[in-house]
Amino acid sequence: MLYPAPIQDLVNELAKLPGVGPKTAQRLAFFLLNRPQGEAELLASAIVNARRRIRYCATCFNFTDQDPCVICKNPNRDSGLIMVVEYPKDVVAMEKTHEFRGRYHVLHGTISPMDGIGPDEIKTRELLARIKTGTVRELVVATGSSLEGEATALYLGRLIKPLGIRITRIARGLPMGGDLDYTDEVTLLKAFEGRQEL
Amino acid sequence: MWLRRLRIRHFRNIEDAEIDLVRGVNVWIGDNGHGKTSALQALHVLAEHRYPPGIGDMDVVQWNAPWMEVRAVMVTAEDTEVVSRYGVALGESRRRVREGPILPAVWFGPADLSTVKGGPGERRDFLSQVAATLYPRYSPLLRRLERAVMQKNRGLREHWPSPALDSFNEIVATTGATVWQLRKATLDRLLPHIYAIHRQLSETSSLAIQFQQGGMEGDLVLEAEEVRRRLNARFGEERQRMVSLVGPHRDDLGVELDQHSARTYASQGQQRTIALAMKLAIYHVYEEFFQAPPLVMLDDVFSELDGRRRALILEYMARHDQQTVITDTEPRDLGTCHPTFYRVVQGVFQPWP
């Protein structure tokens, strides 16, 4: 049996979300229908609001509701030290350390021929333009360790090294508090290769 | 190490089976299609925490079940008992349970002949299977390499400009060099055994096996910097032909019998002897490497072997410190071995007689 059109529309829209299949979409739809009217409206307006008010920061391309964003605007943050990350969630992860005092550049993806994403589809030109303004001393490439994250890091290396600024890659190895015997072999080998003098 | 008390649930056509395994020789008798090979595959997954070549998660979970699990009690070299377990739950996110140490396993099956007779892919699988057991980083590295080659090929087909494509080429070079080193090291361990066993089976013909690096000519190149140089040298040609021409994805083993390609010129019997020598060599390499005999699995192979080759395999099985599992359609004379029998009907295992 088919659902009435409004339910079917809701299910269809929910099923477009990442990680949500048709079964989960159905479950979410019925959950929403069973909640008080006001709650559903709160969710709807939160979605609309976020879409309407959030845009890219013109400097770092992180999501923001003010341009430039709070990090780019903050005079206490080092504008000469830029960390390049794949997604806004990576900025949030790094910010949780409260230690990194530089600024960010969000690429919004990684280079992947199979997904039709080239350097121009992520914010690399914008990064280059930013470097050419002359204040950047060091670029820390913090893309992930996936194949595509690694390829993007290599690409940035080639692109930016000739410009004469320092470019570094974050290290890979053991998680803190992690046991050796729970660590996969590749990570262990990387940790061994990256060993440091005591 | 050996396994006892095997339990298989929702694996292929087996709903729930409990099989008592003994150290020594175990024989599972049954008609085709009743679950012998499935149970043997389940045992392989449990032992090596890895599927035998050619099957994956989607093939093994019983059609009406959301998960499968194989477990057994593993008796270690120190005679202590630990639970060994491998399970997969399908669904929106796939979950996997692996528990217990890895027990190296050698699988003999009717498809072994394709190592000699089949295409380069089958010989790469042969090497990869051993390399993955000897070197735990091999499988993840190979997966990364294969993905890098796929990305590079897509870029080549769509005429991507150089800098973006170069990074994938770079990764093919660095991971490729390591994969080549590990494959070469694996073959070096196998070769002396392959030759020795082959001589034992065939006094008259001489066998030569050579590692052929995909897209490379002349001497082996294993050093990363040189691999990169050679890859870059053919990048232009790759661009023209819009496909990756150099890399481990094009490796092969040159198998020659009396200076002629065994694939084309050897008789079926000669090919079978070579394939058997290659398989038995794995047994020796595992035994040397792990300092203990591996688990041996023989899937329906006796019907195709002549007396001499059968006798050779039986010689291995007669060793009492090793565990062997055989599937067969009928009980047959296994010489000095004293096997324990199980009969398999419709996925149900019963001690027999």
pLDDT in tens, B222-265: 998 999 999 999 999 999 999 999 999 999 999 999 999 999 99
User: Cβ of B53: how many Cβ atoms within 10 Å?
Assistant: 14
Whether B54 is in a domain gets the answer: yes
ipTM: 0.81
Pairing of β B24-29 and β B323-328: parallel
List of chain A residues whose C-beta atoms are within 8 Å of the C-beta of residue B168: 113, 151
Q: Which residue of A has its CA nearest to B162?
A: A155
Strand, helix or coil for residue A97 = coil
* Cα gap B149→B169, rounded to integer Å: 8
Of the residues A111, A127, A181, the best mutation for testing chain B's interface (the one with the most B CB atoms within 10 Å of its CB) is A111
Cis, bond preceding A113 (omega within 30 deg of 0): no
Q: Which residue of A has its CA nearest to B98?
A: A182
CB-based burial label for A112 (10 Å; 0-12, 13-18, 19+): buried
* Cα gap A14→A43, rounded to integer Å: 13
Whether B158 is in a domain gets the answer: no
Q: How would you label B243-267 residue by residue, b for 16+ Cβ within 10 Å and e otherwise?
A: ebbbbbbbbbbebbbeeeebbeebe
Residue A121 Cα, gap to closest chain B Cα (Å): 12
The residue assigned the tokens 């080239």 is A118
Binding-site residues on chain B for chain A (CB distance < 8 A): 92-93, 136-137, 140-141, 144, 147-148, 150-152, 154-155, 158, 160, 163-168, 170-171
Whether B127 is in a domain gets the answer: no
pLDDT reported for residue B265 = 92
| Contact: B158, A111; criterion CB under 8 Å | no
pLDDT reported for residue B101 = 87
Residue B316 has pLDDT above 80, yes or no: no
Of A66 and A179, the one with more pLDDT: A66
Strand, helix or coil for residue B298 = strand
Give the list of residues 6+ apart from residue A170 with CB closer than 8 angstroms, or none: A140, A141, A142
Residue A165 has pLDDT above 80, yes or no: yes
pTM metric for this prediction: 0.85
Residue A187 Cα, gap to closest chain B Cα (Å): 9
- What are the C-alpha distances in Å from B192 to residues B209, B263, B266, B271? 10, 21, 21, 18
Question: B320: pLDDT confidence band, cut at 50, 70 and 90?
Answer: low
Secondary structure element (H or E) that encloses residue B291, with its range = none
What is the span of the domain harbouring residue B50? Answer: 1-104+294-353
CATH number of the domain residue B316 falls in:
3.40.50.300
Of the residues A23, A154, A172, the best mutation for testing chain B's interface (the one with the most B CB atoms within 10 Å of its CB) is A154
Of A53 and B335, the one with more pLDDT: A53
Of the residues B92, B139, B151, B174, the best mutation for testing chain A's interface (the one with the most A CB atoms within 10 Å of its CB) is B151
List of chain A residues whose C-beta atoms are within 8 Å of the C-beta of residue B92: 19, 21, 23-24
Q: At what angle do helices A147-160 and B138-157 cross, to 10 degrees?
A: 60
Give the list of residues 6+ apart from residue A59 with CB closer than 8 angstroms, or none: A68, A69, A72, A103, A130
- Select from B154, B145, B104, B88 the least CA-distant residue to B291: B104
CB-based burial label for B81 (10 Å; 0-12, 13-18, 19+): exposed
Of the residues B159, B168, B181, B239, the best mutation for testing chain A's interface (the one with the most A CB atoms within 10 Å of its CB) is B168
Contact indicator for B45, B94 with CB cutoff of 8 Å: no
Which of A24, A158, A186 lies closest to B137 in CB terms?
A186
pLDDT tens, residue by residue, B42-79: 999 999 988 887 788 888 898 888 899 999 999 988 88
H helices then E strands: how many in chain B? 11, 14
As a CATH number, domain A5-53 is 1.10.8.420
pLDDT reported for residue B176 = 95
Question: A119: pLDDT confidence band, cut at 50, 70 and 90?
Answer: very high
DSSP class of residue B59?
H
Question: A1: pLDDT confidence band, cut at 50, 70 and 90?
Answer: low
The residue assigned the tokens 């060993």 is A195
Whether B345 is in a domain gets the answer: yes
pLDDT reported for residue B203 = 74
| Contact: B171, A154; criterion CB under 8 Å | yes
List of chain A residues whose C-beta atoms are within 8 Å of the C-beta of residue B170: 151, 154
Whether B270 is in a domain gets the answer: no
* Cα gap A167→B137, rounded to integer Å: 29
Question: B3: pLDDT confidence band, cut at 50, 70 and 90?
Answer: very high
Q: Which residue of A has its CA nearest to B158?
A: A113
User: Cβ of B19: how many Cβ atoms within 10 Å?
Assistant: 23
As for how many domains chain B has, the answer is 1
Can you give the residue ranges of every domain in chain A?
A: 5-53, 77-197
Q: Is A77-197 a domain of CATH 3.40.1360.10?
A: yes
Whether B269 is in a domain gets the answer: no
What is the residue-averaged pLDDT of chain B? 90
Neighbouring-strand partners of residue B96? B88
pLDDT reported for residue B205 = 85
